[in-house]
């Protein structure tokens, strides 16, 4: 499920795949192979993915709060 979540988030915006690859220190091609199932991440990489998804979630919540406070 974690890779599906990361792929879905990456697909929602331009440059997100590049941002993810930079934060995980991986090539976009490696991420694409994970998303298609041709390669599997190691347990250490999965741990980093979970941490990144947590950070993404926290950033999105912060963006929603800021939007509600300053745009609404």
In the chain, what are the domain boundaries?
2-71
Please give the model's pTM, rounded to 2 decimal places: 0.76
Q: What are the backbone dihedrals phi and psi of residue 38, each rounded to the nearest 5 degrees, phi first?
A: -80, -20
28 Cβ neighbours under 8 A, 6+ residues apart = 17, 18, 21
Task: Give the C-alpha separation, 61 to 58, whole Å.
Answer: 5
38-57 pLDDT, tens digit per residue, is 999 999 999 999 999 999 88
pLDDT at 64 over 90: no
């Amino acid at each position: 499920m974690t890779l599906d979540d990361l792929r879905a988030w990456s697909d929602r915006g331009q440059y997100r795949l590049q941002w993810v690859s930079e934060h995980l220190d991986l090539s976009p091609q490696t991420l694409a192979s994970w998303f298609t199932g041709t390669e599997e991440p190691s347990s250490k990489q999965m741990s980093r993915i979970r941490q990144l998804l947590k950070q993404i979630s926290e950033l999105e919540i912060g963006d929603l709060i800021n939007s509600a406070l300053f745009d609404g």
